[in-house]
Amino acid sequence: MVVVMEERATEAQIEKVVASLVEAGMDVHRSTGVNRTVLGVVGAHKVDSALISVMDGVHEVLRITEPYKLASRTFKPEGTVVVIDDVRIGGDEVIVMAGPCSAETEEQVFTTAAAVKKAGAKILRGGAFKPRSSPYSFQGLGEVGLQMLRRAADAHNLKLISEVMDINQMELIAKYCDIFQVGARNMQNYTLLRELGHARKPVLLKRGISATIEEWLLSAEYILAGGNNDVILCERGIRTFETATRNTFDISAIPVVKKLSHLPIVADPSHGAGRRDMVAQLARAAVAAGADGLIIEVHNDPDHALSDGAQSMFPVQFDRLMAELRIIAPAIGRSICLEPVARRGWSR
């Protein structure tokens, strides 16, 4: 249920409504918009909406028909902007996160960070704890990897995102990173999601390999219900009958999520395509479809990468893609990397 307060509702009236809902055993999430305050009411109890609707200062009481409440646009009509210092995800600017699939060596991380920064990325990506399909594949460098990534991010004035797979890694990852990444395989790890609801850092929640958009938004709801409002959704492709690409990148998820939810959505064309010769096409399409950002795998030497080499772009390819996105973004009223970037070395 959503309680929409009148534009002129006083603080005392709002507090009275909140108090009576809390008394009825409900959790109340307050969203203070430009014009009105909206109260998202969740919980297992039943409240008589007729009684609430006649309270002073209440404009209307709406039933949210979707199973997710706090993630829905009915609760919060204006889009959420996740702010990390000067980086705003969900605003006019399309934010690009880029870097290797996994941190491997100091040289790899630093060279790649320098390249993505030069091309206009704002956030460095890189895994230190890797959810690999095979237990025999490279599992990541753990804290050593996080240290390398943080140093490289700081050296190039980039924010840092890295994957958290388990509750017991949260404290360590929080020490080094600006955004927690929840991978596709953990989208339904509800214990982890609940704990991230109490974290003080933004969470990028990837769509599960076979999750519907509704299931994905319900997973976001776990984090929001814990009080962490900074959730970024990430479409990374889903499993279908098609085998030509690693996953089927669901481009329609972008406008669908924009309609259903206020949360920002970014696209991961690397895992969507699974091959580097198709990443740029999907990235361009995602920006044109309204994605708030991209997360892209780039490696200084992808042919020797310890994970996801086939889908990792060479820095020169990434650089060219960024130049193309600078043409596409303004066509749909967005910007991308406003600062002038260093001269690029590619040619047509």
Residue closer to ligand PEP (CB basis): 250 or 268: 268
For residue 287, state whether it binds Mn ion (rule: CB under 5 A).
no
What does the alpha-carbon distance between residue 50 and residue 234 come to, in Å, rounded to a whole number? 38
Residue closer to ligand PEP (CB basis): 64 or 163: 163
Minimum distance, C-beta of residue 331 to ligand PEP, in the bound complex (Å): 28
For residue 103, state whether it binds Mn ion (rule: CB under 5 A).
no
For residue 101, state whether it binds Mn ion (rule: CB under 5 A).
yes
Minimum distance, C-beta of residue 297 to Mn ion, in the bound complex (Å): 6
Residues sharing a CB contact under 8 Å with residue 282, sequence separation 6 or more, in sequence order: 249, 251, 267, 269, 272, 273
Spatial contact of 326 and 337, defined as CB atoms under 8 Å apart: yes
Minimum distance, C-beta of residue 307 to Mn ion, in the bound complex (Å): 6
**Residues in binding contact with Mn ion, number by CB under 5 A:** 2
Q: Which letter, b or e, does each residue of 127-150 get, where b requires 16 or more Cβ atoms within 10 Å of its Cβ?
A: bbbbebeeeeeebbbeeebbbbbb
> Which of ligand PEP, Mn ion, none has residue 131 at its interface (CB below 5 to 8 Å by kind)?
ligand PEP
Of residues 244 through 273, those in contact with Mn ion by CB under 5 A are none
Minimum distance, C-beta of residue 75 to ligand PEP, in the bound complex (Å): 27
**Which residues of the shown chain bind ligand PEP in the complex (CB under 6 A)?**
101, 127, 131, 183-185, 206, 236, 268, 271
Residue closer to Mn ion (CB basis): 69 or 130: 130
DSSP 3-state assignment of 148?
helix
> Which of Mn ion, ligand PEP, none has residue 313 at its interface (CB below 5 to 8 Å by kind)?
none
Q: Which letter, b or e, does each residue of 233-249 get, where b requires 16 or more Cβ atoms within 10 Å of its Cβ?
A: bbbbbbeeeeeebbbbb
Of residues 302 through 341, those in contact with Mn ion by CB under 5 A are 308
Minimum distance, C-beta of residue 164 to ligand PEP, in the bound complex (Å): 11
Minimum distance, C-beta of residue 184 to ligand PEP, in the bound complex (Å): 4
Residues sharing a CB contact under 8 Å with residue 155, sequence separation 6 or more, in sequence order: 110, 113, 114
What does the alpha-carbon distance between residue 192 and residue 167 come to, in Å, rounded to a whole number? 6
